[in-house]
Structure 1
Amino acid sequence: MTNEKKRIEEIYHLALEKKNRKERSDYLDSACGNDSKLRASVEGLLQAHDKAGNFLEVPPFDPDVTLDTSPLTEGPGTNIGNYKLLEQIGEGGMAVVYMAEQKKPIRRKVALKIIKLGMDTKEVMDTKEVTARFEVERQALAMMEHPNIAKVLDAGTTNTGRPYFVMELVKGVSITDYCDKNKLTTKERLDLFISVCNAVQHAHQKGIIHRDIKPSNVMITLRDGKPVPKVIDFGIAKATSQRLT
C-alpha cells in the first residue's frame, strides 16, 4: 500500500470515530489542511460508509422500477470510452458483462459490466446523481488491496446513459463448480472458504458491503497451478440501488 493510501485510510478511520458531523468536519479541516484531493478521497470513503450503514433497511431496488427486457444498443465492437467490447461473457437480471479491451493508457483485457434497461440512469436517477454515486463507490473500491478481491478499475456512464463498471478480468469457474469438478476434500474446501471470508472482512474494514455473496460471485482462478478465490462485483448492487442524499 502506498504512503498516500495509508494516510487516506488512517484519516478515514479516525474520522469515523467522531461523534457527529461537526466534529468530523473539524477533524478533516485539521488533518487534511489545504490538500483538497486528500480531503475529497477521505470524504468519498466516508460517504460510502454512511450509505452502507443502513443497507439492511433499504430495499435492494426501487420498487417502482420495472425492468425492461429491450435489447442493449451496446454490443461487441462498440467503443465505450477507452474500452472496446469484444464478446459477451455473462448476463444477469440487471446487467450484461463483456470482455473488453482497454486501449489506453495501457492495453489489456478487462471485464465491463453494463446495466440493462429498466435499471439505467434515466429510470433510476439522473445522470449527474448516478455518476457522483458511482464515483463515491469507485473511490471506496480503489482502497481495497486484497489478493482475493477482483479489483474494480473504472466506472462511468455510456453515451446512451447507462452506468457501467470496469473490473479485473477473472478467468475461472465458480467456487462450487471448481470444488465439485476437482473433488476437493472438506479441508481443501474450507481453505478456499477462509480466503473468501478474509476478503469479505477486508472489505468490511473499508466500509464496503458486498450484498450479493453467492457462488457465481466467487471465482476460482489458477496461479502457479494453485487455486485462488476471487470475489467479484463488490459494491455494485449498493451503487446502483441507493440514491445520494
Structure 2
Amino acid sequence: MGILNNKVALVTGAGSGIGLAIAETYAKEGAKVIVSDINEEHGKQTVEKIKSAGGEASFVKADTSNAAEVEALVKATVEIYGRLDIACNNAGIGGETALTGDYGLDSWRKVLSINLDGVFYGCKYELSQMEKNGGGVIVNIASIHGTVAAPLSSAYTAAKHAVVGLTKNIGAEYGQKNIRCNSVGPGYISTPLLENMDSNAKAALVGKHPIGRLGTAQEVAELVLFLSSEKSSFMTGGYYLIDGGYTAV
C-alpha cells in the first residue's frame, strides 16, 4: 500500500530533473499523476516511464506563465481523474546571468513570469479546486535562493523569495479549509541542466555544499513526498531546505 493510494496529483515541469523524480515517486506511492510540461516529448516520456513501472499517469501540456493554460490544466486534471488532491508547482528556469544594473528587462519579465507568476497561477486554480474537494496539499518548489542570494541572478533570487512568501500566505489563509501549502528549497541538484557545466565550475559549486556533493533529484522528491502525505499533516506555511548544508555557512 502506497502512502498516496487513491490520490490524484499534478506536477508541473515534470518532463525532466526534479519534476520527473517527483512524478515517478508520487506514482510509485499509489497516486494517479498528471504530468505537465511545456516540452511535450519529455512529458510523454515521463508518462511512459511511470506506466512501464506499473503506475498511472497522463500528460497535459501547459505553459505555466500563461494563466489560461494553467486554469485549463487544473480543469483537465479533474476531467481525467475526477479530482485534485496534491499539486507540486515545480516548473522554473534559471534565466540570464548579469549584474542587477545590467539585467535585461525582457529577461527579468521572463524569469518572473515562469518562476513566480506560474506558481501563483498554479496555486490560484489548485486552491479553487481543492476547496471543492474539501481539502488538499500544495508543494511549491522554491530554492536555497529563497533565503540567500544568487549573485548575477537577481530575477531568480527575487522570484524564489517571493514563492516562499506566497507559500506562507497560503498556509495562513487556508489552514482552516483543510488545505496545506509548503515550499521546498533545494540546493544545487545533479540534473541534466548541470551536465554540460565546466568541470572547474562544477567543482567550485560542489565545494559550497558542506556535505561534499550535489544533491539528487530523488532526494528532493522524497522530501516533497513527505510534505504531500499525511505524515506531514501538522505542517503548513513552511519552507524546508534540502541543501547539503549550503545555507549553514
Common fold: TM-score over 0.5: no
Smaller-chain TM-score bracket:
under 0.3
Which structure's CA Rg is the greater one?
Answer: 1
- Considering fraction of residues, name the structure with more helix: 2
TM score, norm. by length of structure 1:
0.25
More strand by share: 1
Q: TM-score, normalised by structure 2?
A: 0.25
